[in-house]
Chains A and B, each alone.
Chain A
């Protein structure tokens, strides 16, 4: 099965983190992505620009509304994602628990809808 790991975290905390802390985080993510790739679990994944760069679009009555900002203004924002291949939920959860972001924020695990 395929699962999406959605990494939510406190953006302000991330932006205010020290240089070393940021470096450590990047290194941890690099190692994590590598381990996933070597295990054949990695399908895709990216870090996202902060939610200040987000724009939302909604179409109502034929009119397109474009708004500055993310879908919801919350303290924890989506900061990145991984698309993984895992045999079952337990395997996906075990990858999610190893994600560096899980130690600072929250990782949501969502199965991909198969057509």
Chain B
């Protein structure tokens, strides 16, 4: 008897947990979109999940767990509103929730609207990605804080402040007007990419939390691409993330040493992910509105051509960086362009392109600039200057595996 009950309990826990993982963002979005109150929606939902464990143990798992959770969470929100609010404001709030209570339709998917609210221009850009991770994916502040390298208390405070801003300033939960859509979508994509990049920056995949972040970033990218299938940049970003993810395993050798892209074994790349990325990029390209993410994904595509030809398409890469340069003016793009120039026209031309950037003070602290410079100087036979540049790069690198790689390169000069 006891064993049966225990197995039943485990099943209920598993169902509640699965519902939590699968439905969390959808339920937060649904409740928040109707009240403007993200924090209130989160609190009500966490109460509802706790109630589910008790109620489902006693009475079994309901036919539609999501609907059950929403019904309980709404009741909690109504109770909370009654306690907290007075007068006309409360009446409006209660009516909003009550209207929804009457309907029997399945819970609509408002997650994209929630993402647009979180990435609204009135929200501080630095907190948009963490806010999306918390509200759409249910990450707690401590997990987000550790991934973004800030203290949990500071992250918690900034998240609370951002949620209050959404409620108090009346930030809407709806698709932006057509004239604003491009710019607003760019903010959503930027936050999504920031989540992915935080995970990607742990190349060894040793930190589970960060590794999850890259996967969640892709999950968000898939969500946006599926909800806005006609937005070429949404497809471009998803493609870009899939290309990068496909090479995760090839970035380290068996000893845990860093392997640069040019020396990676294409057999270690994840072929299905690359194929999916190529198909997405093709579809996006057919829509006739090129943007940053499509161009960056196209660079990746020109790199993985090596799978078939044994050689990256450097001519295409240089051209794509030209276009990215015109679009962003970013010094990081300029460095990558210089590396491509070195491949198409030789190391001297690449160095000349890097020299043109030397006035940019930001580059003094930017490792890839010095690593690229060192590599090109080495290829030009300028051993002493190459050594100095490697020294700068080594001093600026935080990842021990990459540092070891640069030290080895420096040793090999003599």
**A residues within 8 Å of B by Cβ?**
1, 3, 86-90, 92-93, 109, 111, 114-115
Distance between B175 CB and nearest chain A CB, rounded to angstroms: 11
Q: Which of A86, A89, A114, A115 is close to B122, meaning CB atoms less than 8 Å apart?
A: A89
B104 interfacial contact with A, CB 8 Å: no
Contact with A along B151-193 (1 / 0, CB 8 A): 0000000000000000011111000110010000000000000
Q: Contact between B168 and A115 (Cβ–Cβ < 8 Å)?
A: no
With contact pairs A89-B120, A89-B122 given, residues A1 and B89 touching in the complex (Cβ less than 8 Å): no
Q: Contact between B172 and A111 (Cβ–Cβ < 8 Å)?
A: no
Contact with A along B230-243 (1 / 0, CB 8 A): 00000000000000
Q: Contact between A111 and B168 (Cβ–Cβ < 8 Å)?
A: yes
Q: Contact between B89 and A88 (Cβ–Cβ < 8 Å)?
A: no
Q: Which residues of B contact A1 (CB under 8 A)?
A: 170
Q: Which residues of A contact B122 (CB under 8 A)?
A: 89, 93
Q: Which residues of A contact B106 (CB under 8 A)?
A: none
Q: Contact between B87 and A92 (Cβ–Cβ < 8 Å)?
A: no
Q: Contact between B87 and A111 (Cβ–Cβ < 8 Å)?
A: no
- B384-403, CB < 8 A from A: none
A110 (CB) vs chain B CBs: closest residue: B169
Q: Which of A3, A88, A109, A114 is close to B172, meaning CB atoms less than 8 Å apart?
A: A88
Beyond A88-B170, A114-B88: 15 further Cβ-contacts under 8 Å?
A: A1-B170, A88-B172, A89-B120, A89-B122, A89-B171, A90-B171, A90-B172, A90-B176, A90-B177, A93-B122, A109-B169, A111-B169, A111-B170, A114-B89, A115-B89
A and B contact pairs by CB, cutoff 8 A, 14 listed: A3-B170, A87-B172, A88-B171, A88-B172, A89-B122, A90-B172, A90-B176, A90-B177, A90-B180, A93-B122, A111-B170, A114-B88, A114-B89, A115-B86
* A114→B87 CA distance, assembly (Å): 10
B87 (CB) vs chain A CBs: closest residue: A115
Contact with A along B80-110 (1 / 0, CB 8 A): 0000001111000000000000000000000
Q: Which residues of B contact A111 (CB under 8 A)?
A: 168-170
Which of A1, A90, A115 gathers the greatest number of chain B CB atoms within 10 Å? Answer: A90
Distance between A97 CB and nearest chain B CB, rounded to angstroms: 11
* A87→B172 CA distance, assembly (Å): 9
Q: Which residues of B contact A92 (CB under 8 A)?
A: 170
Q: Which residues of A contact B88 (CB under 8 A)?
A: 114
The 6 tightest CB contacts between A and B, nearest first, are A88-B172, A88-B170, A1-B170, A89-B170, A89-B171, A89-B169
Distance between A87 CB and nearest chain B CB, rounded to angstroms: 8
* A83→B168 CA distance, assembly (Å): 16
